[in-house]
Amino acid sequence: MTTIVLGGGLIGVTTAYYLARAGHEVIVLERNEGAGEETSFQNGALLAPGHSHSWAAPGAVGMLLKSFFEKSSPFRFRPSLDPQLWRWGLKFLGNCTDARFRANTLRTFRCMHQGLAELRALSADTGISYDAGDKGILYLFRTTESFEQRSGDWNLLREHGLKLEASDPDRCVEIEPALAAVKDRIGGGFFSPEETAGDAFLFTQRLAEHCADLGVRFEYSTSITALETNAGTVSAVHTDKGRYTGDRYLVTLGPEAARLCRPAGVDLPIWPAKGYTATIPIESQHRPPAVGVIEEDNLISIANLGDRMRLGGKAEFVGYDKSYTNRDFNSIFSVARDLFPDMGDFTRPRLWACLRPVSAGGPPILGETPVANLFLNVGHGAAGWTEACATSRAVADIMSGRRPE
């Protein structure tokens, strides 16, 4: 059975691995020159089930409206006449209730919690390393008020299996001594000792090499243009290099999935959110944090990848625009410098912006579609790195006629 995987990023390569292991003949189509060169290239790096909270929350609308007037807001929304945005937006609003927030958060948490376990199992099975920093993650709040207001969100995850420690400022400094100089600017935090960081691009590239050894065929520099359907099934994929035919087709195209699938009759509630990351080198004189940190008041992530720090933040709903300027990183650098002024060489950043495929409810969209031989592994939002191995194994199981764990 030949399966064609549309997209050679982290999700596509990981699913190709599980499919090949299950005995499928797999072809991966990717428009870039190699695997993982878009959203997976320089993501936030933290593998953080503690950040499972759905963006579709009761206060989300107010936060987006507030972003129109606050330039430093971690969220930004640009109105558009694109009907895809309005379809997504209406479904997003429908998920902004307490009940839907709880349900979507727990669904996402299951994917992320299992995803981290599957990643570690895959790494042990294959020997693939990815500059993991297994020191845990500290979810840090700058004021006592914000710590107390948000504590319920983390208590929900703790009740469902996340190992988590509520920490006062003194304990935060014990967990990460590099915070000692700013202890008076910390309101508290939650520490998850079993979470980690890692380089998603490095993992994707190494897994693609392993997949090739398993017989997976990668067609790089191949841009997908359309799905050809006939009598309720996909009969071919059209690309700039010609038609590709198989028995089954799997879409792992992130934010591009909605535009490709709609003409085939599959309307996906996905809209891109642009995120920004910067990588700065660490040298012998620097004092970087060993623990992963997410500064919750401004939603800035900080990850130690050994010889470099990865900083990330912001979520801009601005369509498919991936452009950026140096100014777009000001808020990220401001928070990072304030907490850890000696973490690395801020004068030599490598900047990056990418589009993250946000589903209207938060959880990824997986498995079968109304088109008989078309399958999905899409809509992971900012959680793709943490969810990838769990959702990919689950979709490979579905496509192989097995019930996923």
pLDDT tens string 213-228: 999 999 999 999 999 9
Whether residue 68 is predicted with pLDDT greater than 60 in this model: the reply is no
- Local confidence band at 78 (pLDDT 50, 70, 90 cut-offs): confident
pLDDT score of 75: 72
Rounded Cα gap, residues 60 and 222, in angstroms: 38
pTM: 0.95
Neighbours of 102 (CB within 10 A): 15
Which residues touch 198 (CB under 8 Å, ≥6 apart)? 45, 47, 119, 130, 131, 132, 133, 305, 385
Angle in degrees, CA 122, 127, 133, rounded to 5: 80
For residue 384, name the pLDDT band (cuts at 50, 70, 90): very high
pLDDT band at 54 (very low <50, low <70, confident <90, very high): very high
Cα separation, 193 vs 292, in Å, equals 10
Higher-confidence position of 81 and 394: 394
Range name among 65-74, 82-91, 176-185, 302-311 with the lowest pLDDT average: 65-74
Angle of helix 200-213 relative to helix 10-21, nearest 10 degrees?
30
Alpha-carbon distance of 237 to 243, in angstroms, equals: 6
Q: What value does the mean pLDDT take over residues 159-171?
A: 95
When computed from its CA atoms, the radius of gyration of the chain, rounded to whole angstroms, is 21
Beta bridge pairs of residue 190: 139, 166
For the purposes of burial, counting CB atoms within 10 Å of the CB of 47, is it exposed (0-12), middle (13-18) or buried (19 or more)? Answer: buried
Residues listed for the chain: 405
pLDDT the model gives residue 402:
95
Give the pLDDT confidence of 228-258 residue by residue, as tens digits. Answer: 999 999 999 999 999 999 999 999 999 999 9
Q: What is the pLDDT of residue 320?
A: 93
- Summary mean pLDDT of the chain: 94
Beta-carbon contacts of 283 under 8 Å, excluding residues fewer than 6 positions away, are: 344, 345
Task: Indicate the pLDDT class of residue 158, thresholds 50, 70 and 90.
Answer: very high
User: In the structure encoding, which two tokens stand for residue 93, read together?
Assistant: 């609003």
DSSP category for residue 400: T
DSSP H/E element including 374: strand 374-378
| Higher-confidence position of 81 and 210 | 210
Q: Given this model, what pLDDT does residue 82 score?
A: 86
* Rounded alpha-carbon distances, angstroms, from residue 366 to 26, 307, 334: 18, 36, 38
Q: Which residue, chain included where needed, has tokens 């090499």? A: 209
How far, rounded to the nearest angstrom, does the alpha carbon of residue 281 sit from its chain's CA centroid?
A: 23
Identify the pLDDT of residue 66: 63
